[in-house]
């Protein structure tokens, strides 16, 4: 089966929980916007994506709940993210 290229964020010996905690800390410090709540394409009233992308992982209520690195080591970023200007 053909697989699309996905970057792996976990390197040998790293724990997913540590990488996720570091990402949350850095995203918070930099006010990084990348989640659906900051995206022009989210349907705010119901939390879905108007483009039809699955967005459960990026629509967490708070950054503290986000697990950016999945258990398979692949990040949960959305290439269609468009800042909503807020
Ligand atoms: S385009 Fe991506 S970031 Fe924007 S609402 Fe849809 S899934 Fe979320």
Q: What is the pLDDT of residue 74?
A: 84
Q: Which domain holds residue 26?
A: 16-65
Q: Of all protein residues, whose CA lies closest to atom 5 belonging to ligand 1?
A: 42
Pocket of ligand 1 (CB under 6 A): 36, 39, 41-42, 49, 51, 53, 55, 58, 78, 80-81
CA of 23 to the centre of ligand 1 (A): 19
In a domain, 58, yes or no: yes
Q: Of all protein residues, whose CA lies closest to atom 8 belonging to ligand 1?
A: 36
Residues contacting residue 48 through CB under 8 Å, at least 6 positions apart: 42, 55
In a domain, 50, yes or no: yes
- Which ligand 1 atom is nearest residue 80's CA? 1
Number of domains in the chain: 1
SS3 assignment, position 3: coil
Res 11 pLDDT > 60: yes
In a domain, 83, yes or no: no
Read off the pLDDT of residues 21-76 as tens digits, 9 standing for 90 and up.
Answer: 999 999 999 999 999 999 999 999 999 999 999 898 899 888 888 899 988 888 88
* Cα–Cα distance for residue pair 42/59, rounded to 1 Å: 9
Q: What is the pLDDT of residue 2?
A: 59
In a domain, 74, yes or no: no
Three-point CA angle 29, 33, 39, nearest 5°? 160
């Amino acid at each position: 089966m053909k697989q699309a290229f996905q970057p792996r964020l976990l390197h040998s010996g790293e724990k997913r929980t540590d990488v996720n905690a570091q990402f949350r800390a850095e995203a918070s410090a930099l006010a990084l916007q990348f989640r659906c709540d900051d995206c022009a394409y989210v349907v705010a009233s119901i939390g879905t994506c108007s483009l039809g992308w699955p967005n459960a992982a990026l629509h967490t209520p708070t950054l503290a709940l986000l697990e950016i690195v999945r258990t398979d080591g692949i990040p949960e970023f959305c290439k269609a993210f468009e800042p909503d200007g807020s």
